Structure formats: structure tokens, C-alpha cells
Amino acid sequence: MKIQQDVYFDDLEPGHELPGREYGPLTIVDTVRWAGLQENWQHLHYDRDWVREHDGLRAFIASGAYRQALLMRMLTDWIGPRGWLRKISIRHTHPTFEGDTMRYSAVVVKKSPDPADPWIECELEGKNQDGRQILTGRCTLLLPPKTRLNTGAT
Amino acid sequence: MSEREVLSEVLLAWIGRTSPLQPLEVLSASDVRRYVDATGDANPLWLDDDFARSLGHRGRLLPPLLVGWIPFSLKEQGASERLASFDLRRQLPVPENYTNVRNAGSETEWLKPAFLGEPLSSQSRIVDIVARPGKMGMGIYVTQEEQVFNPKQEIVLRRRHTIALFPKQPFGAKEGSEGDR
């Protein structure tokens, strides 16, 4: 398979917006498939009657780990095979209910002054189909400079 | 309930408690396949050994989210004592009606690649327990730090994760804006 690296440290500056992603609408198939992977049988993620009775919610909600996985997929796709997701912090601010979408965005806010230590920091945000924020976060990404490739390989 | 009522001395005594170093289940190619099916994250770095080797890795990597992955069922109370000790938070003496658990947030750092089939081990420590009032009542916020080690005892992952526990909610009470599980 051909190695395609589209993003380089040298080309980025604070203010650069990463390509956003939209996932969903969330279905019971999505949440059950995730529950199976995680072996997480909490009714919160698939049982409409139970969440109304027990949690006072109008519908089941996506697992936080599932939402994080989709956000991380957006980042690891963008940094390419020679990039490295070094750090991510996430704060969940509103649930994703059945039928909701997850729209993720990221913007570069900081860049290493040292090309020998090529990292950038991004602010992350997730919103639902109504524009309501569902999560915020921050990440540190290592990117290859054009002159010296950084694979993170061991 | 007030802050004093939910934060008993017995509960607060758990701050600083550390789990033993536990070997994690070795993740298989089918675990990764099910992760890819669930997320659509078909990155060749976790699916194609040759591709990963062409980048200097010794084989395909685990997707970052699966590093230190512990199936939820192993963390549940009711499992054996050894398995339950994977997640100290499952053993906390919180009030009985605090059954509504939400994921309040996390910070995760990947220090080295972890590879498919690599035996990893994990250790965790309760670092903070606080109470805060919110839309869903008085919440108990528990923060745990976890480290995941490779066979060379190098740290491949560090995570600081906070869960929020709330009392059982009546229908239509709130929509859980404090976060989700």
C-alpha cells in the first residue's frame, strides 16, 4: 500500500482549521455494536424504556468512549501515517441521543517553535445537529516536518 | 443530599488507593476488526502489518483507543475480586441510589506505540473524589489515573479519567448535561 502523507508540520500555523467530520445520526445499531465491542451492557446505551424509567432521559445515549473514538478517528486520519496522536483531553458537556449527529471540528491554536520537536496543539469541539455543544477538548499532535520524517516507530 | 452526606470519611479514604499491576487481556485481530466495524476507522496502521512495517514499526499498531482497553464486563462488580480490582471506582462505597454513572471527561497521553498481540499491563490510582451540585443533583466526581506498560515496563499510555455519579433520576427530570457515559 502506498504511504500517503498529506499534512506536514511546516505547513501549519495557529488558526488553521482541520477538516471537520460529521457522524450519525446515532442509531441503535451503532450503540449496540459499540456495546458489544466494549462488553458494556449498561441499558443507558440501547434500552429506550429503561433510560426513561431509570435515568429520566428521552432516549438512549452514545457511550463517551464511542464519541471519543470517532473524534480520534478524525484526527488520526488527518495526521496521516507518519503523524502521532500524542495527547487528547475531552470534557463531555451534553449527551448524544438516538437520532443525533456528532459534528466535530478542530483548529490549530499553538505550534512548537522548534522544528526539531514538531508538535501542534488543537482545540476540539463537538456539536449536535442543533448546534448545541456536546464536548470540548484539546489535543497535541506530532507531525512530520518536510525535511525529517517522524514516524514514531520503535 | 448535601456534600457532607455524600462524601463520607470511608469514601474519601479511597483517595490515594492504588490497584496492583494487572496484566491486561491481549487484544486480537478480531478485537481490532470489531473496533473498525463499530467506528469505520479502517486505518492501515491497525489493519496491515506490511504497511506498518514500511513505516518502521515492527507490526501493526493497536488503535490508540484500544491501548489499555479493558472490556467493561471485567470492570463490573460481581466479577471475581481480581477482575473487579481492574477498576477501583467500581468498589467505591457511594450512597446506594448513586447508580447513574456518567463519563465526565478524560486526558490521555500515548507515549509509545503499542502493537497487536503485545502483552500489556495496567495500574490505576484514585486521585480525587469531590462533590458538586448540578442539574442532576449532587454529583460525586471520581478521578482516577491509569498507566499502561509494555513488556519492557515502559509506559505506553497515561490517562486521567473522571466519572460522575448521580442519584437515580425520575423520568423527564434532566437530560444529563453533566456529560455522558
| Angle subtended by helix axes A28-38 and A64-79, to nearest 10 | 90
ipTM of the complex: 0.91
Q: How confident is the model at residue B13 (pLDDT cuts 50, 70, 90)?
A: very high
Instruction: Give the count of domains, chain A.
Output: 1
Mean pLDDT of B10-34: 93
Instruction: Please tell me which residue, A109 or B90, carries the higher pLDDT value.
Output: A109
Query: Minimal Cα distance from B169: which residue of A?
Result: A55
Query: Minimal Cα distance from A71: which residue of B?
Result: B39
Question: Min CA distance, B152 vs chain A (Å)?
Answer: 12
Residue at A54 is within a domain: no
For testing contact with chain B, the best of A66, A92, A119, A136 (most B CBs within 10 A): A92
Q: How far apart are CA B92 and CA A2, in angstroms?
A: 50
What pLDDT was estimated at residue B178? 41
The CA-based angle B172-B175-B181, given to 5 degrees, is 130
Mean pLDDT of B41-59: 96
**Subunit contact A69:B39, Cβ cutoff 8 A:** yes
What pLDDT was estimated at residue B177? 43
- Contacting A residues, span 17-36, partner chain B, CB-CB under 8 Å: 30, 33-34, 36
Residues 6+ apart with CB under 8 A from B44: A1, A81, B51, B52
- Contacting A residues, span 51-70, partner chain B, CB-CB under 8 Å: 52-58, 61-70
Residue at A60 is within a domain: no
> Which residue range forms the structural domain that includes residue A112?
9-24+69-142
What pLDDT was estimated at residue B71? 67
What pLDDT was estimated at residue B176? 47
Residue at A58 is within a domain: no
Backbone φ and ψ for A62, nearest 5 degrees, come out as -70, 150
Residue at A43 is within a domain: no
Residue at A38 is within a domain: no
Spans in chain A with pLDDT lower than 50: 154
What pLDDT was estimated at residue B85? 58
Domain residues of chain B, as ranges?
Answer: 3-27+62-166
CATH number of the CATH domain containing A136: 3.10.129.10
Q: How confident is the model at residue B91 (pLDDT cuts 50, 70, 90)?
A: confident
Is the Cβ–Cβ distance between A108 and A146 less than 8 Å?
A: no
**Subunit contact B176:A40, Cβ cutoff 8 A:** no
Mean pLDDT of B135-151: 93
What topology is assigned to B3-27+62-166 in CATH?
Answer: Thiol Ester Dehydrase; Chain A (3.10.129)
